[in-house]
């Protein structure tokens, strides 16, 4: 086979390689552009989240939703808890717990527990023992939740012990049974006619 024939046979292969190289370069260009756009969006989102967290730290509320960054949700939960908006703060903890960021969840539950316990102490200092009880119980629950996410969380263990001692020293603080009211031990028998009086 002479050089001219060999060259003629190589042309289709060369055209195929050129076409393949052109397609590959186009794909690489598209992938690089997509990566650059994704990186730019992530950087913009991080800046926006950091600005929102800074606003919360400065005392300005910022709306969040379940799609917000876990760090922003944790910061807003702490913001709300510090302002005694306990129900709103607790509502944010569920999407945070679902995000799988155990360290952030532990800190958020711990912060809410601290806010609840501070509220209980304020009530106790004013001599309002009965309203303080549910806050102590809720604080204990939040500390336990923090320890579920991070069992070695020493501060949560310590504060759980403080709350437990409060209940131990003041048994009337213990609130159990959900929405049920505790039975008065002096009224064991009902006042329905025909019910026995005195001891059984």
pLDDT band at residue 16 under the 50/70/90 scheme: low
Work out the average pLDDT over 82-107. 91
Q: What pLDDT does residue 7 have?
A: 56
Task: List, as one string, the DSSP characters of 113-151.
Answer: HHHHHHHHHHHHHTT-HHHHHHHHHHHHHHHHHHHHH-T
pLDDT tens-digit series, residues 122-138: 998 888 888 888 999 99
Name the average pLDDT for the chain.
78
pLDDT band at residue 2 under the 50/70/90 scheme: low
**Hey, which CATH number is domain 64-178, 3.30.70, 2.40.128, 1.25.40, 1.10.10?**
1.25.40
- 3-class DSSP assignment, residue 22: helix
Query: Could you tell me how far CA 111 lies from the centroid of its own chain?
Result: 11
Could you give the angle at the alpha carbon of 59 between the alpha carbons of 153 and 75, nearest 5°? 35
Count Cβ neighbours within 10 Å for each residue of 167-183 and write b for 16 or more, e otherwise.
beeeeebebeeeeeeee
Q: What pLDDT does residue 147 have?
A: 95
Of the candidates 73, 58, 62, 63, the one whose C-alpha atom is nearest the C-alpha of residue 107 is: 73
Query: pTM above the 0.75 mark?
Result: no
Contact between 173 and 129 (Cβ < 8 Å): yes
For the chain, give every domain's residue range: 1-60, 64-178
In angstroms, the CA 80 to CA 93 distance is 11
Does the pLDDT at position 141 exceed 90? Answer: yes
Determine which helix (DSSP H) or strand (DSSP E) holds 169, and give its type and residue range.
Answer: helix 154-169
In angstroms, the CA 24 to CA 17 distance is 10
In angstroms, the CA 49 to CA 42 distance is 10
């Amino acid at each position: 086979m002479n050089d001219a024939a060999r060259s003629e046979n190589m042309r289709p292969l060369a055209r195929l390689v050129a076409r393949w190289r052109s397609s590959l370069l186009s794909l690489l260009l598209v992938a690089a552009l997509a990566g650059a756009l994704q990186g730019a969006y992530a950087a913009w989102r991080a800046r926006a989240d950091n600005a929102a967290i800074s606003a919360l730290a400065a005392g300005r509320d910022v709306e969040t939703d379940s799609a917000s960054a876990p760090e922003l949700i944790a910061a807003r939960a702490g913001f709300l808890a510090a302002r005694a908006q306990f129900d709103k703060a607790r509502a944010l903890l569920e999407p945070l717990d679902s995000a799988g960021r155990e360290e952030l969840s532990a800190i958020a539950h711990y912060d809410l527990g601290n806010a609840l316990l501070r509220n209980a102490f304020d009530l106790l200092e004013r001599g309002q023992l009965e309203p303080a009880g549910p806050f102590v119980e809720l604080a204990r629950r939040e500390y336990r939740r923090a320890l579920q996410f991070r069992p070695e969380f020493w501060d949560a263990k310590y504060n759980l012990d403080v709350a437990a001692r409060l209940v131990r020293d003041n048994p009337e603080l213990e609130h159990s049974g959900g929405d049920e009211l505790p039975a008065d031990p002096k009224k064991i028998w009902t006042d329905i006619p025909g019910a026995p009086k005195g001891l059984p």
